Amino acid sequence: MTAAAPDRVPAIEIFDPMCPAVLKDPYAAYRELRDHHPVALLEPLGLWVVSRYEHARDVLGAPDAFSAALAFGKDSSITDTRGAEPRRLNLRFAGDAGGVVSSTDGETHTRLRRTVAGLLSKPRLDAAEAAIADRVDRVLAELAGGGERFDVVEGLAKPVAARAIGVLMGLDEDVTRVLARWADLTARALDPGDELSTAAAGPRVMRSNLASFRAVTAFLNSARGVPGGPPNVLAHSWQEAAGPAAREEVILAILQLFQAGYETIVSAVCHLMAAFVIDGPRTPGFPDGPVPAPDLVDEAVRLASPVRATFRTAVGPRTVGGVPLPDGAMVMVLLGSANRDERVFEDPDRPRPGRPTTHLAFGAGPHRCLGRMLAQLELRHIVGALAARTRSISSIEGARVGANILKAGYDHLPVSVEWR
């Protein structure tokens, strides 16, 4: 461990991940970390942070040195006893018998990732595209019939994202609704400013977890499919599963994939709207303008970094950016900071579609997220449908950012619309 120089502010006073205000607007803190504490120990939490692009990429690209399985294993959590009411954020993404893609390493990770890759393959996306496009059209038709104002989060992003990932996974609308409610509650439990992150809220969170398990189990046992959607591969995996451990693995895979696809897309939709559509000129962000849709999506995702951070645990003593880390060090990789690193991205806080450098919003290394094509598909249909149905979209008072230890987005994003 290297101590801060006498004339330097301790890293925890710059970036405190247990402070809700910092999580909601972290960019000034990110910059100061990159400049003065690129690899730093947050002593009260026993947590290391990595904030520069180069170091974040190096940690994520070295799974043998920095383990995801240890970081998101059965007992993984962040505890903060500084306040009158202690907070404990549970990072466990594993069951009693096994883990999921984000909480495994090595051969187990490779096997689980292969299943997820199949669910997000281009043939399945092609098969689901018509249902997703229909959902976008239906949602916008309902919004148009409801007047000139709506909330992008509740009115557009959530219903489209839930339906899209549900169709792709072969889930029906009943279980999709249960999982969307569960994902929203789980996000709150990782927010140090929310009552659900306290020990007293544990039973309520547990009840939500149990409800989601039961809904998924009942669905898989029924082997129902989604009309117009791709085959229910997960139901087949459930039927073929040999024993409780294999069945738990299927349930956990469904929960994590739904949560990741739902939360990330909700955030990406809102940030794309805020950066390129709301209060902006019509042509730059729409299909008839000069910006290709994939570039637009990539830049919106870089700016937003819906997954602001991820975690790894050092396996043995390691060195990052010249700073020694002890064996077992918990490392918080700040993707949101890495994606605005001035050493890599010119004028990083301004939207500039077509940037040549690969951002880290989808991670890096063997755990790199497979959902980029799904994000592009959904956002392309949303932007195209908005272009066809609206003349202008303007911001109105009431926008509110929400964030937790891992992810960030909007809680509310109200707009005023002139419909065609």
- On the question of pLDDT at 149 being above 80, the answer is yes
| CA pair distance 327, 1, nearest whole angstrom | 12
Coil vs helix vs strand at 200 = helix
Tens of pLDDT, residue by residue over 9-32, are: 799 999 999 999 999 999 999 999
pLDDT score, position 114: 83
Average pLDDT in the 44-54 region?
Answer: 96
All structural domains of the chain, each given as residue ranges with its CATH number in brackets, are: 90-308+347-419 (1.10.630.10)
Of residues 231 and 155, more confidence is placed in 155
Please report which confidence band the pLDDT of residue 2 belongs to, taking 50, 70 and 90 as the band edges: very low
Instruction: Tell me the percentage of the chain whose pLDDT exceeds 70.
Output: 91
pLDDT digits (tens, 9 = 90+) for 188-204: 989 998 888 877 777 88
Threshold 0.75, pTM exceeds: yes
User: Would you place residue 287 in the very low, low, confident or very high pLDDT band (cuts 50, 70, 90)?
Assistant: very low
pLDDT at position 285 over 70: no
Q: How many CA atoms lie less than 13 Å away from 13 in the CB half-sphere?
A: 5
Exposure b/e, 130-169, CB count within 10 A at least 16 = b? ebbbebbeebbeebeeeeeebbbbebbbbbbbbbbbbbbb
